[in-house]
């Protein structure tokens, strides 16, 4: 019995397009995370200003989890050599990032909030909240789904007849 975790290479992508989509999604996540981390203290203050339910603790948790998920989604998207559990964990974090952005952008659009920045690029670049941001979040979800489909870490088993 081997108690140490063994890293295995990623399975070959189903299509070249799915690998390109995964790289594109990873590039977007890198840009988002670097911009958010560059001014992380201001990014947390920005999230506080969104008046999220739960107040400041939820805003800080949301900000920290958003950055954490963005960073740890990258190993799956870039097909790093990982343990099977870490590969699945990384893939799920890739789904969580667009889900969190969808919730946040939808909150900004539907609440009576006077926010002037959505926070995609932290506080470095001001991007006005609106329905476009909700659609960007949905587009990120599509990229995450396509990447997961193309780089799915499990073998497919045909149903017995």
Tell me the average pLDDT across 1-17.
79
pLDDT at 3: 57
**Beta partners for residue 82, in sequence order:** 8
pLDDT digits (tens, 9 = 90+) for 99-141: 999 999 999 999 877 788 999 999 999 999 899 999 999 999 9
Rounded to whole angstroms, the maximal C-alpha distance in the chain is 59
C-alpha to C-alpha distance for 136 and 128, rounded to whole angstroms: 13
Residue 117 contacts residue 149 (beta carbons within 8 Å): no
| Distance from chain centroid for Cα 121 | 13
For the entire predicted model, the pTM comes to 0.89
| Distance from chain centroid for Cα 45 | 20
pLDDT at 13 over 90: no
pLDDT at 159: 55
Indicate the length of the chain as a whole number: 161
Helices (H), ranges, the chain:
16-38, 40-48, 55-72, 74-77, 84-110, 131-150
pLDDT at 42 over 70: yes
């Amino acid at each position: 019995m081997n108690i140490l975790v063994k890293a295995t290479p990623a399975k070959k992508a189903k299509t070249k397009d799915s690998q390109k989509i995964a790289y594109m999604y990873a590039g977007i996540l890198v840009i988002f995370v670097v911009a958010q981390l560059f001014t992380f203290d201001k990014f947390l203050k920005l999230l506080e200003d969104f008046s999220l339910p739960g107040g400041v603790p939820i805003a800080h948790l949301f900000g920290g989890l958003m950055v954490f998920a963005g960073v740890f989604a990258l190993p799956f998207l870039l097909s790093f050599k990982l343990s099977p559990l870490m590969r699945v964990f990384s893939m799920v974090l890739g789904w969580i990032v667009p889900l969190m952005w969808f919730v946040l952008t939808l909150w900004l659009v539907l609440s009576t909030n006077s926010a002037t920045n959505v926070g995609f690029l932290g506080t470095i670049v001001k991007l006005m909240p609106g329905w476009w941001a909700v659609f960007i979040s949905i587009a990120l979800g599509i990229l995450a789904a396509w990447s997961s489909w193309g780089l799915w870490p499990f073998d497919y088993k045909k149903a017995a007849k």
